Structure formats: structure tokens, C-alpha cells
């Protein structure tokens, strides 16, 4: 189970759908009776001792704990678009299975502290490399994801937000933009193993835990 600090207080944990029922039972055992409040993408669970768990689904909503578990376990069909300077990963997942995938690498130079004309030439070269990489990624996404757009529950992106936005700005990918989930994955340079791990992260229920002291 992944855990990391949350902006504004508390911490985020990610729980696999298959483990959610057990996690919720443990939360109630530790913190007492709970009050539920529906969220647009999940459920807020406020316990008697002041502990609060905000449970966020990648797709769906719920009004009770059983519904939350059922929505988390529902076999969603997700598109994946991961983009970083070092490459891209594009895929389709059906439930927990990665059913289609394509990964590729393309070098884009890092920023430099040099100045003058050298810096300007470097910046132009870097921008050209980034545009070419975004174009390559958009081409793959157009071939793999756009034809499947009507069957996807959501598109989950990750990596470098600026590069993802640049890829999705391609007019050919307009059907995908409306499918973008709020969730954005933090991933290294996309390889096949990273793309497979992204399926796990995309399906997980993201839970923000807050206490009365936060």
C-alpha cells in the first residue's frame, strides 16, 4: 500500500480494489462508528474519533460502503497515456489486465544553465525534440486509443503534465480529452513494466486520511 503526505495535511494511501473491503473493515475497527458523505468520485468516511478517510475512485461514485467496494471492483476499461522526456507508454486495460500496449523512447535534452546564443540554439533544439516526441506519441495514441474511445470508461494519464497536455492538444485526439480522469500518475520513463504498474495505480482507490489534528 502506497502512502505519501497530502498537500494541506493528512496523507494519501492507495488501496487495490481487491483489498478495499478488508481495509474499510479495519478502519472501522480502529476508529469506531462512521458517518458517510457521498463525494462526486467516491465517499467520505468520518469516524467517531475524528479520523476521516476520503475515498476517491478513478471512475464512479457511491453512497455507502458496499457500493464503494462494488464500484472499485467493477471491471473498468481504461486508456493509459504516459509521457516523459525519455519516452511514452500507451495502453488499454480491461480490469486488471493490460490488453494492448505500445512503449517507445525518444531523447529530449535536459535544460542547461549556459547563456547567450548557445543557450538559444539549445532551447530551439530542445523544443524541436519535444515537439517531435509529442507528435510521435500522438500518432500512437491516435492509432491505439481513438478507435477504442467509445468503449473506454476513462483515460488515465501520467508522467510530465506539460508533455501530456502537448500530446492531447493534437486535434486528432479530441475524443480522448473528454475522457481524461482527474487522477494523474507519477511515473518514471515509461517502459512496459511501468505501463503494467500504471494499471495497478489507475485502478487503486486513493484515500486521503485526515485526523482532527490536521
pLDDT one-digit tens code per residue, 34-77: 999 999 999 999 999 999 999 999 999 999 999 999 999 999 99
SS3 40: coil
Please check whether the domain covering 77-201 is classified as CATH 3.40.1160.10.
no
Per-residue pLDDT band at 130 (split at 50, 70, 90): low
SS3 153: coil
pLDDT one-digit tens code per residue, 109-125: 555 555 554 555 545 55
pTM for the full predicted model: 0.87
What integer pLDDT is reported at residue 146 of this predicted model? 98
Average pLDDT over residues 142-147: 97
CB 88 within 8 A of CB 104: yes
All CATH 3.30.420.60 domain ranges of the chain, comma separated, are 77-201
Amino acid at each position: 500500500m502506497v502512502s505519501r503526505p497530502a498537500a494541506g495535511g493528512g496523507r494519501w494511501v492507495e488501496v487495490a480494489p481487491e483489498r478495499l473491503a478488508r481495509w474499510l473493515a479495519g478502519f472501522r475497527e480502529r476508529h469506531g462508528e462512521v458517518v458517510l458523505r457521498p463525494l462526486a468520485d467516491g465517499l467520505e468516511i468520518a469516524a467517531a474519533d475524528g479520523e476521516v478517510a476520503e475515498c476517491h475512485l478513478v471512475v464512479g461514485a457511491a453512497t455507502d460502503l458496499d457500493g464503494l467496494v462494488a464500484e472499485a471492483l467493477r471491471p473498468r476499461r481504461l486508456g493509459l497515456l504516459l509521457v516523459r522526456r525519455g519516452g511514452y507508454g500507451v495502453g488499454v486495460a480491461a480490469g486488471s489486465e493490460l490488453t494492448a500496449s505500445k512503449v517507445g523512447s525518444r531523447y529530449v535534452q535536459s535544460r542547461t544553465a549556459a547563456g547567450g546564443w548557445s543557450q538559444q540554439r539549445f532551447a530551439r533544439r530542445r523544443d524541436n525534440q519535444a515537439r517531435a516526441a509529442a507528435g510521435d506519441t500522438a500518432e500512437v495514441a491516435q492509432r491505439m486509443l481513438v478507435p477504442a474511445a467509445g468503449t473506454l470508461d476513462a483515460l488515465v494519464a501520467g508522467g510530465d503534465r506539460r508533455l501530456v497536455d502537448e500530446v492531447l492538444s493534437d486535434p486528432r485526439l479530441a475524443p480522448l480529452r473528454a475522457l481524461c480522469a482527474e487522477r494523474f500518475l507519477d511515473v518514471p520513463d515509461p517502459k512496459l513494466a511501468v505501463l503494467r504498474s500504471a494499471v495497478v495505480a489507475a485502478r487503486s482507490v486513493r484515500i486521503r486520511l485526515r485526523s482532527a489534528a490536521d
